[in-house]
Amino acid sequence: MNARQWLFLSLALACSSIGYAAAGPQEAKGLWLTSEKDAVVKVDDCVDKPGALCGKVVWVKDMASTTSDCGVQIMQLDRFDQEAWRDGWVFDPRDHKKYKGVVRVKEGLLNVRAFVGTEILGKTEQLERIASLPPAPVCTL
């Protein structure tokens, strides 16, 4: 193999692996818009539990609703393992129940999986990363 072929092969291999970088524990942090585009969740370190990841509703489209979920903590996951946050809970504001949870970042989406018993029988909610909060109204926390 000559130098030119070696260079081409090296570049091709490097480019093909760029899209497959594993998501680290910091990738889940940020602002995430729900799939219905009616709420934004801020995911960050838990204030009261070092090393854990928490998510709180920081924007709701319909603030006038008497059932506004502003300020509600919807997740707490205690450890990062095998490209996912695990060992915690997620809260579904629609049915007001806590479930076991796993959170993964994949292809720019936050996949929040809620389940009872085993993960395979759960349901996944996909949230889209956003750079900033939508215009008012903003939750007053």
CATH label of the domain that carries residue 107: 2.40.128.520
Domain that holds residue 124: 23-130
Residue 13 has pLDDT above 70, yes or no: no
128-138 mean pLDDT? 88
Mean pLDDT of the chain: 84
Residue 140: inside a domain: no
| Residue 18 in domain | no
Question: Residue 141 has what pLDDT?
Answer: 62
Instruction: Please check the confidence at residue 7 and state whether its pLDDT lies above 90.
Output: no
pLDDT over 90 percentage in the chain: 68
Lowest mean pLDDT among 35-44, 65-74, 106-115, 127-136: 65-74
In a domain, 30, yes or no: yes
Q: Is 4 within a domain? A: no
- How many domains, in total, are found in the chain? 1
Tell me the pTM.
Answer: 0.80
Dump pLDDT digits (tens) for 17-66: 334 456 789 999 999 999 999 999 999 999 999 999 999 999 998 876 65
**pLDDT number for residue 6:** 38
d(CA 98, CA 86): 14
Dihedral sign of CA atoms 25, 96, 42, 112 in order: positive
Reading the block at residue 34, the tokens are 């729900």
Which among 59, 127, 118, 115 is positioned nearest to 90, based on CA atoms? 115
